[in-house]
Amino acid sequence: MTKANKQQQEKYKGKIVPMNEIESNAKTLRPLSDITDAQAELVHMMLHDGCNPTEASKRLGRNKAWAYKTIVKQHVIDYRQKLSMMTLGWDATQALATMRELLQAKSNYIRLEASKDLMDRAGLKVEPVRGANTNVSINFNID
């Protein structure tokens, strides 16, 4: 497995997905969708800038009722979900690179936790050892 290059790491350090990444992935999705330019812009503003629908609608010169009606339309939801998954997929790459870096940390505890997390994600979770059951039951029958 390879580590994300420095340029990718720097590009995705912030909480906001870069607009160029949204636009490049959106081009592959738009022909497959009935989404209009205005609807796509609304989605892009919400993904890129972290706007809520009210703020995005102001920037687009639309009223907020239009924005809230738009974001619940199924084809807009589908577009937003597909675009989100494509653009945010890079974060998983960066997270994996970070976990791999933690395997080299000075702290034994950090290395252990990173190792356990990676093993768990790989499906190799070690179940905790259960202690022996020391409960004893004695029944006396007095006749």
Domains contained in the chain, number: 1
Residues 6+ apart with CB under 8 A from 99: 114, 117, 118
The more confident residue out of 58 and 3 is: 58
Assigned domain for 29 exists: yes
- Residue range 106-121: average pLDDT? 89
CB 110 within 8 A of CB 100: no
d(CA 29, CA 68): 22
Residues 6+ apart with CB under 8 A from 66: 57
Assigned domain for 113 exists: yes
pLDDT level of residue 34 (50, 70, 90 thresholds): confident
At 75, the amino acid letter reads H
Tokens of 56: 């995005």
Residue with tokens 């994996």: 96
Assigned domain for 105 exists: yes
Assigned domain for 78 exists: yes
Assigned domain for 136 exists: no
* Angle between helix 74-102 and 19-29 (nearest 10): 130
Assigned domain for 85 exists: yes
CB atoms within 10 A of CB 4: 20
pLDDT at 16: 54
pLDDT at 120: 87
* Domain of 82, in residue numbers: 17-121
Assigned domain for 48 exists: yes
Assigned domain for 66 exists: yes
pLDDT above 70 (res 3): no
pTM for the full predicted model: 0.49
